[in-house]
């Protein structure tokens, strides 16, 4: 895989990470009232998802797609318990994004975190099914 593209990907993750932290902080400060921050987070994850898919990083793209979906679903939900679980999931994403950046240039290290990414993908998908089963929104609305 092209090292220059991987460097771009890592830089993109790091740049977006800062805005993601602001979105999570706002969600916590507003006691989950500002649902647009869930959608905002989903849009940022969608950028990472697209790049990961383009680069053929299957586990990363599948995980980020699951995080994107649960973020969008939380943005239109009234389920406070589900939203709290999503915030924990988004914080976990931030932690894993640091691991992704640290291991992306080492195939052995990347293989080690792929199992964790699959596990977290399953958790996000289960969260979608249990907490947001009646919501169809999986991407942002274009106005």
- Structure-token match 């977290």, residue found: 120
pLDDT per residue as tens digits for the range 4-60: 999 999 999 999 999 999 999 999 999 998 889 999 999 999 999 999 999 999 999
Q: Which domain holds residue 82?
A: 3-130
Does position 143 have pLDDT exceeding 70, yes or no? no
Does position 111 have pLDDT exceeding 50, yes or no? yes
Please indicate, yes or no, if residue 140 is contained in any of the structural domains: no
Please indicate, yes or no, if residue 58 is contained in any of the structural domains: yes
Does the pTM exceed 0.85? Answer: yes
Positive or negative: CA dihedral 16, 14, 50, 37: negative
- Structure-token match 């830089």, residue found: 11
118: CATH: 1.20.120
Give the pLDDT score at 142.
Answer: 46
Please indicate, yes or no, if residue 141 is contained in any of the structural domains: no
Residues 6+ apart with CB under 8 A from 57: 9
The mean pLDDT value for 89-112 works out to 93
Token reading at 131: 């907490």
What separation in angstroms does the CA of 135 have from each of 45, 46, 75, 141? 19, 19, 10, 14
Please indicate, yes or no, if residue 142 is contained in any of the structural domains: no
Torsion of CA 35, 13, 96, 141, to 10 degrees: 30
Please indicate, yes or no, if residue 139 is contained in any of the structural domains: no
Give the chain's domain count: 1
Please indicate, yes or no, if residue 136 is contained in any of the structural domains: no
Closest CA to 83 of 133, 20, 38, 29: 38
Please indicate, yes or no, if residue 34 is contained in any of the structural domains: yes
Does position 77 have pLDDT exceeding 60, yes or no? yes
Does position 126 have pLDDT exceeding 50, yes or no? yes
């Amino acid at each position: 895989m092209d090292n220059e593209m991987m460097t771009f990907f890592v830089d993109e993750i790091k740049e977006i990470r800062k805005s993601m932290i602001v979105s999570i902080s706002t969600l916590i400060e507003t006691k989950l009232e500002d649902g647009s921050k869930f959608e905002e987070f989903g849009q940022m994850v969608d950028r990472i998802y697209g790049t990961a898919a383009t680069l053929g990083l299957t586990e990363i793209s599948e995980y980020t797609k699951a995080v994107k979906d649960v973020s969008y679903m939380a943005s239109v939900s009234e389920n406070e318990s589900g939203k709290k679980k999503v915030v924990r999931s988004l914080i976990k994403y931030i932690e894993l994004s640091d691991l992704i950046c640290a291991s992306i240039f080492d195939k052995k290290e990347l293989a080690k975190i792929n199992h964790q990414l699959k596990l977290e993908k399953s958790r996000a998908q289960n969260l979608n099914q249990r907490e947001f089963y009646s919501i169809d929104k999986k991407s942002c609305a274009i106005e």
